[in-house]
Structure 1
Amino acid sequence: MEILVRNAMVLTQNGKRALLKDHDVLIEENKIAKVGKRLGEKAEYVIDGRGKVLMPGLVNTHTHLAMTLLRGYGDDMSLQKWLESKIWPMEAKLKASDVRAGSMLGCLEMIKGGTTSFVDMYFFMEEVARAVDESGMRANLAYGMLDLGKQEKRKEELRKSEEFVRKFNGKADGRISTSFGPHAIYTCSTELLQKTKELADEHGVR
């Protein structure tokens, strides 16, 4: 499939970050084939770029995508109080279908704003991966682990995380990469963090 964007302001990523005014960009088979003024090529889709900026996709490096459903829930609170009295009790009620819906909504919002890649850590991560696959986005995904110092919970969290890494790394035609995702230093024991490093090295991920 060919896409031709005509007469756009092209923001390049060359050494000078040059701005190319009134330029055309030809895309063939999902790759940029030509950039220039008044390209003569024909394309299946032609986009009028006048008055618009054509630039590389943005990357959101910290998301909990399904939490789009919780936007505005419990404003003007300290972090710990917000987590303990609002977010964690609400998250305990979320089902896989909720995470799927919130993730699809988040993907749509990011695409609309020019974001094409993101990094996400949450739970029901299989649903986030499916949202990435369906939306055409690119993402690094991790199951969010926390053990609160409890040995049995630590084992279960590590098992779930390793299973997710094995199952989804490289999926969606390579658009999904995976990581191990300890939640935070105040919810994860030293033992969990150490084991996370060992598993990440073993699987060749971060």
Structure 2
Amino acid sequence: MSTSYLFKGGLIATFDSENKPRTFKADILVENDIIARIDQEITADASVQVVDCTGRWITPGMVDTHRHIWMAVMRGSQGDWLLTEYLIKNSWHEQGDVTVSEVRTGQLAGCLDALNSGVTTILDHFHAANSPEHADAALEATLQSGARVILSMARQSAPTKVLPQMEFGKEADSVKWQWEKLKEWAARDGGKLSPDGRVLLGFAYDQDMFNPDEALIPMHQEALRLARSLPASIITSHVVSGPRILTWRNAGLLGPDVVFSHCNELSTHTALDDEM
């Protein structure tokens, strides 16, 4: 297969050196995955594959800072759910029952769906790590897809009982094998899960949301310390209710490596200025 491409006649939408938006019509020559030339009229030799971009936009790949990639396998079942429905039906029931094969299929389909939509970089909050085999299946599919992904395995376990009170009977086992798996992945060239660094190790952490007791703050601090020591390139967490950003700040958990998702709580209470 050709490793050189000429994108011909497209309208480029990008940014200049001062980060100002810029659009212009030009050709783009890519050689060995590197943009080698951008010019008005480029003539390529016969070894270059020409892509006719007349009437099309050419843009840098988009970045999705929060996606549960594996859930592509569940598409169509939850489009109009409320958050409470999602938690009860998905997070606390279906998620714990997905098979290794389903995770592999969903992860590959989700990555390919993102690429097809122009999203080339994804921060994946992978919360279906029900076993070491589930985790490895997600990694294998991510590597196969060709997408650029920060694979952030969530430090959590599925509940073994929901009502009348939630119980996490598999938590002790999950703590052990998940940290072992994270350390195993981190040993691959400092968290480069693919040789070229296209897939990187991240870390997802919501334990302080499920266990908000202040007495557990040392546990949360130790979890993030361990994640950073691996190192995990990004630490990500959901923010959907309550002043969790302030909780992280007060516990000394914040850092330039933290990405919060959703943050819909910022419009619902009075701590807006501090949290922003």
Judge same fold: TM > 0.5, yes or no: yes
Aligned equivalent of 1:137, options 139, 147, 163 = 147
User: Which residue is 1:201 aligned to?
Assistant: 228
**TM-superposed deviation, 1:201:** 2.9
User: Which residue is 1:162 aligned to?
Assistant: 183
**TM-superposed deviation, 1:185:** 3.1
Relative to structure 1, the CA distance from residue 3 to residue 110 in structure 2 (aligned partners, 3 Å threshold; closer, same or farther) is same
User: Which residue is 2:9 aligned to?
Assistant: 7
Counterpart Cα distance in 2 of 1:25 and 1:75: 39
3-state SS of 2:44 partner? coil
Question: CA offsets per residue over residues 12-60 of structure 1, 9 Å max, x none?
Answer: 2213321112x10000110000001111232520011100011111111
3-state SS of 1:152 partner? helix
**TM-superposed deviation, 1:138:** 0.8
What is the total number of aligned residue pairs between the two structures? 205
Contact 1:59–1:118 (CA under 8 A) maintained in structure 2: yes
**TM-superposed deviation, 1:75:** 5.0
State TM-score, norm by structure 2. Answer: 0.66
Mark the runs of 5 or more structure 1 residues left unpaired by the alignment. none
User: Which residue is 2:37 aligned to?
Assistant: 34
- 1:69 has 2:107 as partner: no
Q: Which moved more, 1:109-118 or 1:7-16?
A: 7-16
Counterpart Cα distance in 1 of 2:174 and 2:144: 32
Contact 2:156–2:175 (CA under 8 A) maintained in structure 1: no
Question: CA offsets per residue over residues 96-125 of structure 1, 9 Å max, x none?
Answer: 111010011111211111011101122223
Q: Which amino acid aligns with 1:171?
A: L
3-state SS of 2:210 partner? coil
Mark the runs of 5 or more structure 2 residues left unpaired by the alignment. 158-166, 235-276
Contact 2:152–2:203 (CA under 8 A) maintained in structure 1: yes
Pairing of 1:36-115 with structure 2 (within 5 A): 36-42=39-45, 43-74=47-78, 76-115=80-119
Contact 2:65–2:122 (CA under 8 A) maintained in structure 1: yes
3-state SS of 1:12 partner? strand
Q: Which moved more, 1:33-42 or 1:148-157?
A: 148-157
Q: Which moved more, 1:123-132 or 1:159-168?
A: 159-168
Cα-Cα RMSD: 2.5
Counterpart Cα distance in 2 of 1:179 and 1:39: 40
Relative to structure 1, the CA distance from residue 76 to residue 133 in structure 2 (aligned partners, 3 Å threshold; closer, same or farther) is closer
Contact 1:125–1:141 (CA under 8 A) maintained in structure 2: no
User: Which residue is 1:179 aligned to?
Assistant: 202
Relative to structure 1, the CA distance from residue 110 to residue 154 in structure 2 (aligned partners, 3 Å threshold; closer, same or farther) is closer
